Amino acid sequence: MKLKAMLIAGAMSFVPMTANAADLTIGFSQIGSESGWRAAETTVTKQEAEKRGINLKFADAQQKQENQIKAIRSFVAQGVDAILLAPVVATGWDDVLEEARDAEIPVVLLDRTIDAPDDLYMTAVTSDLVHEGQVAGQWLVDETAGAKCDIVELQGTTGSSPAIDRKKGFEEAIAGHDNLNIVRSQTGDFTRSQGKVVMESFLKAVGGENICALYAHNDDMAVGAIQAVKEAGLKPGEDIKIVSIDSVPDIHLAMSKGEANATIELTPNMAGPALDALEAYLADGTTPPKWIQTESKLYTLEDDNMAIYEMKKDLGY
Amino acid sequence: MKHHINTTLRRIAPQLVILAGVLLLNFLVFPDFFRIEFQHGRLFGNLIDVLNRGAPTALLCIGMTLVIATKGIDLSVGAVMAIAGAVAAALVVDGHSWQVALLGALCAGAVCGAWNGVLVAVLRIQPIVATLVLMVAGRGIAQLVTEGTILTFLNPGLIHLGAGTVAGIPTPILIWLGLGLAVTAVVRKTALGMLIEAIGINESSSRLAGINSRVLIISVYLISGFCAALAGVIVAADIKGADANNAGLWLELDAILAVVIGGNSLLGGRFSIIASLLGALIIQSVNSIILLSGMPPELNLVIKALIIIAILVIQSPTVKHALYILRASADPIPPGSIKEAKESPQ
């Protein structure tokens, strides 16, 4: 009994100290590690927190919403200063986010948005998928400079929002440029092997010499397609220009060899802008806008792709 | 011998007709379909693509046919492909030779197969449940091996197995043809095939007749695991990387479908590996129609479903019986009756 009282007294004595310290404690509920990009996002988030001296509590939900809800409840119970949430689905968050709001803990959404009233979260940090497609399309418009160019397109998984939006953005960018035409478009399911298989069929159905450029909705499909182009005896990057989205390490490796031409980055650093906004809010109450758009940076052959590859390859992609 | 060939031909006739039909559809959507060229040291053409891209399903359905003949099913083959690809990639990345990597991957596949076999034959767990364990867990094991990334490699020997050619023919084609013929020869030139069929028809009576069903069942699952491992190595070698998330995803269903299109009963018993291989080629030819037609990808699965439904309906016992009756009643009409029918309207 005496021991217990002592322990409580001891524990209590730490409370004012931690409260006074400027250190923030932030909970991060991550979806899981279903893709290389997701793993990189986790790595970068941990790095960003460490850089700022933030105590990050990390919870991996293994693709289950119930695990994310449990994690948020436990963050609320622990009285964290803020919560980062990468939501696995769009619906079903109202109750748990109300609990966080009642405890006055700001919530920032990473990478995806949710269907919930605006006042349940402080801000959402996401990339604009349509804009990514536009950057890719604009690059090709500039690159071809009016010369006739027949394009083949490798779409993402049919019906997925990245596939729909990246297609839409690209089409918007090339609209009004009569020299640019999409002659074939088929899904490669975001995977390397389907990217290769579908590119093989494009090369035969259209004829390799008639294809001027390939637009792939992600880098992995482009990496597969590069191999198909090589096996057909053509030079990827020269005979067929290749532009894709995501900026994973392997596409930079291909670009360093001149086998791909451009990629648009889907940055894994969603936490940087989120933590900036949180720190400003907690310091002087600055309310950030409801949506913080991350930069969709274009990388071309003019960048030092080998250096980018070396930098990115250990992020867990 | 001649009689033997005739029986085989009669057995696979429906599959040959369907394959011809699907290839004709390919020709209709893309007139250059049958053109094969020799360029850059390899055969180049859509027909070659069908044979090459059909390799994983073809390899899987060799093992799957034997498993299904024993009244079993193997749902884990897709996951085993991912494991084998991951093991092969991890070994070459660690600096081992491609022979060691291939051997390691095949051993991993055989161990997975033996695990399934023991669950089914010794612990008497229903095959669909027993193999479901590895189907779910296998991809996790593969991800542990690759540490969640796409593990890329540059070993030319290993890449040759998936993307290389021998005398201009893509290596995967030679591998599945070779393994298919070898397994067919072994089960048909010995009593093995008959023993497997006996287990599928009635396991208890076959055991009473002196067949060691336990060892045989473990063996067929082991062969299935081995075939899956080979398919996994080919898929990884093809893209120079082991993609634990996507390698062989849903391919177990294509393999089962190939066996069914091959006219083999899921209730076990008589089987034909050659017919299953034709089934695999039919599935790949259907995929080829979708790719060559240039239709929007939203229609992919609808087109595939319609063609597969048509194929299965043509093969269903009721329709087969109806066709038989139709032919039988059409044949023996005497010439006089037709004349009579023509004259009657007057």
- H-run or E-run covering A284: helix A271-284
Interface of B with A in 221-240 (CB under 8 A): 235, 238-240
- Would you state the pLDDT for residue A33? 76
Q: Tens digit of pLDDT for each residue in A110-148?
A: 998 999 999 999 999 999 999 999 999 999 999 999 999
Complete domains list, chain B, with CATH: 12-294 (1.10.3470)
- Report how far residue B277's alpha carbon sits from residue A146's, in angstroms, rounded to the nearest whole number: 49
Distance from CA of A221 to the nearest CA of B (A): 10
Q: Does the beta-carbon distance from A220 to B39 stay under 8 Å?
A: no
pLDDT value for B149: 83
In angstroms, what separates the C-alpha of A76 from chain B's closest C-alpha? 30
Nearest-Cα residue of chain B relative to residue A163: B297
| 8 Å CB contact of B288 and A201 | yes
Which residues of A fall within a CB distance of 8 Å from B150? 36, 192, 220, 250
Q: The tokens 């079993």 sit on which residue?
A: B72
Cα B43 to Cα B292: distance, rounded to the nearest angstrom:
19
Predicted pLDDT at B91: 97
Residue B128 CA to residue A161 CA, distance in Å, equals 34
Whether the CB-CB separation of A68 and A85 falls below 8 Å is answered with yes
Tens digit of pLDDT at every position of chain A (317 positions): 455 555 555 444 444 444 333 589 999 999 987 778 888 999 999 999 999 999 999 999 988 999 999 999 999 999 999 999 999 999 999 999 999 999 999 999 999 899 999 999 999 999 999 999 999 999 999 999 999 999 999 999 998 889 999 999 999 999 999 999 999 999 999 999 999 999 999 999 999 999 999 999 999 999 999 999 999 999 999 999 999 999 999 999 999 999 999 999 999 999 999 999 999 999 888 999 999 999 999 999 999 999 999 999 888 88
d(CA B232, CA B109): 9
Helix (H) or strand (E) run with residue A107 in it: strand A107-110
Query: Whole-angstrom Cα distance, residue B64 to residue B227?
Result: 9
The pLDDT value recorded for residue B1 is 62
Interface contacts A/B by beta carbons within 8 Å: 75
pTM: 0.87
Q: What are the structural domains of chain A?
A: 19-127+268-286 (3.40.50.2300), 129-266+301-312 (3.40.50.2300)
Q: Which residue of B has its CA nearest to A189?
A: B246
Check if B154 contacts A (Cβ < 8 Å): no
**A187 to chain B, minimum CA–CA distance in Å?**
6
Beta bridge partners of A246: A265
Whether the CB-CB separation of B82 and B58 falls below 8 Å is answered with: no
CA distance B40 to chain A (A): 6
pLDDT score for A36: 80
pLDDT of A317: 81
Contact B245 A198 (CB under 8 A): no
Report residue B151 as tokens.
Answer: 């593990």
User: In sequence order, which ranges of chain B are alpha helices (DSSP H)?
Assistant: 2-29, 46-53, 55-69, 77-93, 98-121, 127-146, 156-163, 171-189, 192-201, 203-208, 213-238, 251-261, 273-293, 300-315, 317-330, 335-343
For an interface test with B, give the residue of A151, A160, A199, A201 to mutate (most B CBs within 10 A). Answer: A201
d(CA A127, CA A142): 23
* Shortest CA gap B70–chain A (Å): 33
Q: What is the ipTM of this complex?
A: 0.88
d(CA B98, CA B336): 74
B25 HSE (CA, 13 A, CB side): 20
Q: Judge whether B261 and B277 are in contact, CB under 8 Å.
A: no
346 residues of chain B, pLDDT tens digit each:
678 888 889 899 999 999 999 999 999 999 999 999 988 888 999 999 999 999 999 999 999 999 999 999 999 999 999 999 999 999 999 999 999 999 999 999 999 999 999 999 999 999 999 999 999 999 999 999 998 788 999 999 999 999 999 999 999 999 999 999 999 999 999 999 999 999 999 999 999 999 999 999 999 999 999 999 999 999 999 999 999 989 999 999 999 999 999 999 999 999 999 999 999 999 999 999 999 998 999 999 999 999 999 999 988 889 888 888 888 887 665 555 544 444 444 4
A204 contacts B40? CB cut-off 8 A: no
Alpha-carbon span B277 to B66, nearest angstrom: 12
Distance CA A165, CA A137 (A): 13
Report yes or no: B241 at the A interface, CB cutoff 8 Å. Answer: yes
Q: Is A92 in a helix, a strand, or coil? A: coil
**pLDDT score, position A130:** 96
